Amino acid sequence: MQTLLRTPLHERHVAAGARMVPFAGWEMPVQYAGVIDEHLAVRRDCGVFDVSHMGQLHVEGPAAEELLQSLLSNDLSRIEDREAQYTLLTNDEGGIVDDLIVYRLERHHYLLVVNAGNREAAYAWLKEREIRGSDVRDASDEYTLLAVQGPRSIERLGLPEAKQFTHAMGEVDGLEVMVNRTGYTGERGCELMCPDEDAAALWDAVLARGAVPCGLGARDTLRLEVCYPLHGKDITPRTDAISAGLGWTCALEKKDFTGAEKLRRVKEEGPSRKLVAFVMEERAVPRAGMPILSADGSSAGEVTSGTHSPMLDRGIGLGYVLTESAAPGGELTIDVRGKDRRATVVPKPIYKPEEA
């Protein structure tokens, strides 16, 4: 049995009634009061997630931008200090090593927030490719990260308004925090980063301001409603950005980066499969791994993520299907443990928050 890592807030989670589960080598809260109540709190007001399990990599030095431009898919030169960007770390085949958000702290200093399960892989990938004038460092164990999400989150925290994908130093009840206007729910909100020694005080302050504690269960239903892909399920080192609908994160015209040539070819020829969003037309909950059939009953692909949408009160999912079955409005059949259940391809996102 593997020893699970714990965030500095473990005691707080247990005290708040969390059900703890193993996730990517960590012991994390999957739910407190209940997934649906937590989901609705984020859609209607404000919820807080401990996402300290995510990795934080620093890339510094006069050649930091050059290194990252050669390894990340998006055009880093488009962001300034205090700005952030969603981007992909790609492999030689154009597959996705990880998806991440890069924050430009200074001209020669970037922070990469990577998935917990890919922390080591992403760090090793970058470290092995360091060039003269660049240094890659893993700072994951030094910081706590809280995602505070929902239409009232900024107001509840008493923070000034700011644009999405920006960051600044700020203060919550006397605690100095890095305030990142990013998240994984599709709602207005931020991610607060502080040193581990302030974690408990920050958590208490955020709860006292009315945020509802939320676990990984709600994090998954929220991200799936807005069709944010989950690495390891919807995108992997064996899937490419074009097929996944993430071509907008790839600066294929502007620069070269690992795997760019392969991606250009997929884009030019058109992908054979596409990651589509679908909703169930019958009561059933699609799950990862279930076969997807096209209207004529032939195999069309496979579900990569599925759940019950609390906002739509029906089953929803993402899955790769043959391009000819990928157009919105198209009819699909999901094989739910041997029973055929009807579904329809819909445009992304499946659910659109009122204002983000």
Of residues 90 and 304, the one with the C-beta less far from other proteins:
304
> Quick one: which of 232, 342, 223 has its CA closest to 284?
342
| By the rule CB under 8 A, 30 interacts with other proteins | yes
Considering only residues 283, 289, 299, 328, which one is a binding residue for other proteins as defined by CB under 8 A?
283
**Which residue, 183 or 217, has its beta carbon nearer to other proteins?**
217
Q: Is 181 helix (H, G, I), strand (E, B) or coil?
A: coil
Q: Which DSSP symbol is given to 4? A: P
Q: Is 14 in the site for other proteins (CB under 8 A)?
A: no
Q: Which of 5, 36, 162, 312 binds other proteins (CB under 8 A)?
A: 36
Of 249 and 307, CB closest to other proteins = 307
Q: Does 285 bind other proteins (CB under 8 A)?
A: yes
Phi first, then psi: give them for residue 313, nearest 5 degrees: 55, 45
Q: Kindly tell me which residue out of 34, 133, 270, 328 binds other proteins, with binding defined by CB under 8 A.
A: 34
The CA distance from 144 to 15, in Å, is 18
**73 vs 304, which CB is nearer to other proteins?**
304
Give 248-264 as a DSSP string: GG--TTT---TTHHHHH
Q: Are 90 and 236 a contacting pair, CB within 8 Å?
A: no
d(CA 55, CA 117): 9
Q: Which is nearer to other proteins, 31 or 85 (CB)?
A: 31
Closer to other proteins by CB, 22 or 347: give it. 22
Binding-site member from 72, 308, 330, 333 for other proteins (CB under 8 A): 308
Pick from 26, 27, 29, 31: which binds other proteins (CB under 8 A)? 31
Tell the smallest beta-carbon distance from residue 344 to other proteins (Å). Answer: 18
Other CB atoms within a 10 A radius of the CB of residue 283 amount to 10
337 binds other proteins (CB under 8 A): yes
Torsion on CA atoms 118, 119, 120, 124, rounded to nearest 10: 100
Q: Does 284 bind other proteins (CB under 8 A)?
A: yes
Q: Which structure tokens are listed for 176?
A: 């100095």
Interface residue list for other proteins (CB under 8 A):
30-31, 34-36, 217, 221, 283-285, 287, 307-308, 310, 315, 337, 339
